[in-house]
Chain A
Amino acid sequence: MRLAALLLAAFLAGCGARSASGPDLDVILAEAPAETLSAYGLFADIAAANPASGVVPYELATPLFSDHAEKHRLVFVPGGKSAAYLKDDVFAFPVGTVLVKTFAFAPDMRTPEAGAYRVETRLLIHKETGWAAYPYLWNEAGTEATYSPVGGRRTIETISPAGDPLTIRYAIPNQNQCKTCHQAGSALSPIGPKARNLNHEGQLEDWAARGILTGLPAGLAPAPAMYDVSLPVEVRARAWLDINCAHCHKPDGSASNSGLWLSATETDPVKLGIGKHPVAAGRGAGALMQVVVPGKPDDSILAFRMASVEPGVAMPELGRTVPDPDGLALVRSWIAEMDAP
Chain B
Amino acid sequence: MKLTRAAFALPLAIILAACGQEAVTPAPDAAGLPAPLSAEGDFGATLQAALISAKPGDTILMPEGTFSLIDPLSLDVDGVTLRGASQGGTVLDFAQQAGAGEGLLVTSDDVTLQDFTVRDTKGDGIKSKGADRITYKYLTVEWSGEPDETNGAYGIYPVESTDVLVEHVTVRGASDAGIYVGQSKNIIVRNSVVEYNVAGIEIENSTGADVYGNIARNNTGGILVFDLPALPVSGGNSTRIYSNQIVANNTRNFAPPGNIVAGVPSGTGVIIMANRNVHVFENTFDNNRSAHVLITAYSEPFTDPAYNPLPRDIVVRDNTYSGGGDDPQGTLAPLAAALGGQLPPIVWDGVATWTGATEPQAVNLTIAEAPEVGFLNLGVPAYPLDPAAIAPSPDRPVGTPPAEPAAIVLAHVKD
Verify A287–B259 contact, CB threshold 8 A: no
A residues less than 8 Å from B99 (CB atoms): 171, 311, 317-318, 321
Name the residue on A nearest B97 (C-beta): A311
Check if A153 is an interface residue, CB within 8 A of chain B. yes
Which residues 289-341 of A sit at the B interface, judged by CB distance below 8 A?
A: 289-290, 301, 310-312, 317-318, 321
Verify A287–B124 contact, CB threshold 8 A: no
B207 to chain A, nearest CB (A): 15
Partner of A257, one of B75, B183, B260: B183
A149 with B76, Cβ < 8 A, contacts A259-B230, A317-B99 known: no
Check if B151 is an interface residue, CB within 8 A of chain A. yes
Check if A2 is an interface residue, CB within 8 A of chain B. no
Verify A279–B228 contact, CB threshold 8 A: yes
B256 to chain A, nearest CB (A): 5
Instruction: Encode B172-196 as 1/0 by CB contact (under 8 A) with A.
Output: 0001100010110000000000000
- Complex Cα distance, B45 from A122, in Å, reads 19
Which residues 260-306 of B sit at the A interface, judged by CB distance below 8 A?
A: 260, 300-301, 303-304
Verify B153–A283 contact, CB threshold 8 A: yes
Verify B258–A149 contact, CB threshold 8 A: no
A311 with B122, Cβ < 8 A, contacts A257-B231, A288-B258, A317-B100 known: yes
Check if A271 is an interface residue, CB within 8 A of chain B. yes
Check if A229 is an interface residue, CB within 8 A of chain B. no
A282 with B259, Cβ < 8 A, contacts A149-B49, A174-B74, A257-B129 known: yes
- Complex Cα distance, B105 from A318, in Å, reads 13
- Complex Cα distance, B336 from A145, in Å, reads 68
Check if A49 is an interface residue, CB within 8 A of chain B. no
Check if B64 is an interface residue, CB within 8 A of chain A. no
Verify B258–A276 contact, CB threshold 8 A: no
A84 to chain B, nearest CB (A): 28
Instruction: Encode B208-243 as 1/0 by CB contact (under 8 A) with A.
Output: 000000000000000000001011110000000000
A171 to chain B, nearest CB (A): 5
A residues less than 8 Å from B45 (CB atoms): 150, 152
**How many interface contacts (CB-CB < 8 Å) are there between A and B?**
140
- Complex Cα distance, B122 from A171, in Å, reads 16
Verify A284–B123 contact, CB threshold 8 A: yes
Verify B48–A312 contact, CB threshold 8 A: no
Check if B107 is an interface residue, CB within 8 A of chain A. yes
A residues less than 8 Å from B22 (CB atoms): none
A282 with B100, Cβ < 8 A, contacts A149-B53, A180-B74, A312-B123 known: no
- Complex Cα distance, B230 from A279, in Å, reads 10
Verify A287–B98 contact, CB threshold 8 A: no
Verify B52–A251 contact, CB threshold 8 A: no
Partner of B153, one of A151, A177, A280: A280
Verify B130–A186 contact, CB threshold 8 A: yes
Partner of A312, one of B52, B122, B231, B258: B122
B300 to chain A, nearest CB (A): 7
Check if A256 is an interface residue, CB within 8 A of chain B. yes
A residues less than 8 Å from B124 (CB atoms): 280, 282
A171 with B258, Cβ < 8 A, contacts A153-B98, A259-B231, A311-B123 known: no
B156 to chain A, nearest CB (A): 13
Verify B303–A254 contact, CB threshold 8 A: no
Which residue among A174, A176, A301 has the maximum number of chain B CB atoms within 10 Å of its CB? Answer: A176
Which residue among A151, A254, A256, A311 has the maximum number of chain B CB atoms within 10 Å of its CB? Answer: A311
Check if B379 is an interface residue, CB within 8 A of chain A. no
A residues less than 8 Å from B123 (CB atoms): 282, 284, 311-312, 317
* Number of residues of chain A lying within 8 A (CB) of chain B: 45
B-side binding surface: helix, strand, loop or mixed? loop
Verify B98–A311 contact, CB threshold 8 A: yes
Check if A169 is an interface residue, CB within 8 A of chain B. yes
Contact count band on B: 35 or more
A172 to chain B, nearest CB (A): 10
Verify A283–B150 contact, CB threshold 8 A: yes
- Complex Cα distance, B183 from A275, in Å, reads 21
Name the residue on B nearest A288 (C-beta): B258
Verify A287–B122 contact, CB threshold 8 A: no
Verify B98–A169 contact, CB threshold 8 A: yes
A283 with B160, Cβ < 8 A, contacts A171-B98, A174-B52 known: no
Verify A280–B176 contact, CB threshold 8 A: yes
Check if A17 is an interface residue, CB within 8 A of chain B. no
A270 with B230, Cβ < 8 A, contacts A150-B49, A257-B182, A282-B256 known: yes
A residues less than 8 Å from B26 (CB atoms): none
Check if B257 is an interface residue, CB within 8 A of chain A. yes
Name the residue on B nearest A256 (C-beta): B232
- Complex Cα distance, B230 from A275, in Å, reads 11
Check if B70 is an interface residue, CB within 8 A of chain A. yes
Partner of B257, one of A153, A251, A259, A287: A287
A residues less than 8 Å from B107 (CB atoms): 176, 179, 183
Partner of B52, one of A149, A257, A301: A149
Check if B346 is an interface residue, CB within 8 A of chain A. no
Name the residue on A nearest B102 (C-beta): A312
- Complex Cα distance, B53 from A111, in Å, reads 40
- Complex Cα distance, B183 from A259, in Å, reads 11
Verify A279–B231 contact, CB threshold 8 A: yes
- 15 pairs from A and B in contact (CB 8 Å cutoff): A150-B49, A152-B71, A180-B74, A257-B232, A279-B260, A280-B159, A281-B153, A282-B124, A282-B175, A284-B153, A289-B257, A311-B99, A311-B101, A312-B97, A318-B99
Known: A301-B258, A312-B152. 15 other contacts (CB 8 A): A152-B71, A171-B99, A174-B48, A176-B51, A176-B74, A256-B232, A257-B183, A257-B231, A259-B231, A270-B303, A282-B255, A285-B256, A311-B99, A312-B97, A318-B100
